[in-house]
Structure 1
Amino acid sequence: MQPRYLKRLEGLLNQFGASHGRGLASDHLEDIGQATRQGQVATLLVEPSGDSGHVDKTDGTATPTSEDDVNTPIFWTSDHLDTRARWNVVVVPTERMPTGTGAAAIYRF
């Protein structure tokens, strides 16, 4: 199972890099929050972090635990990942995460 996961993860990390260069991916938490609300996210990559913040389902705003630390990883709660979501969530080990925000989204459009 692990080799299969690692192969899939490598493909997603490459896809994030290529998509980011074309404006079809982001690691900015506010952008990701808005994109999930608008149905733009195809794949969400997240670190296995603790509860470090909140994403408001209504307006898509991301609020870190500390307002001074905008790079605090956001914990994507089950409230946010509700049944309307039509995207993949992949947990990425911290050392392999391509961003410093703890999250990365690959957009559909």
Structure 2
Amino acid sequence: MSYFDHWLKEDKAVKYYFRYADDMVILHSDKEYLRQLLDEIREQLGTLKLEIKSNYQIFKVEDRSISFVGYKIYHDYTLIRKNIKHKMCKKVAAMNKLKHMTYSEYRQQVCSHIG
């Protein structure tokens, strides 16, 4: 994907491009530009024998948040996604009921979620 990243940032001069593993976000004020870019991205990924999932979205960022790598990103603040928060709370509640867990083990389990 490094080749693709360089193509997008350098050749296509996309200013706001973020990727983590197989998740990517591209920000631009013009939806038509994004649609044209999407077609070019499909072609580029095709040469790498990759494709975009059918659930991609093009929308105005002012209208809602961006869900990316476990967070909901708004203009002014960022929140962890609710389902991730609920899973963490359930795990912490279950760990609180365990009698044999040491403080060090407890801390390792919690830190992995906080990280």
TM-score, normalised via structure 2 length: 0.23
Higher relative contact order (CA 8 A, sep 6+): 1
More helix by share: 2
* Greater Rg over alpha carbons, structure: 2
TM-score, normalised via structure 1 length: 0.24
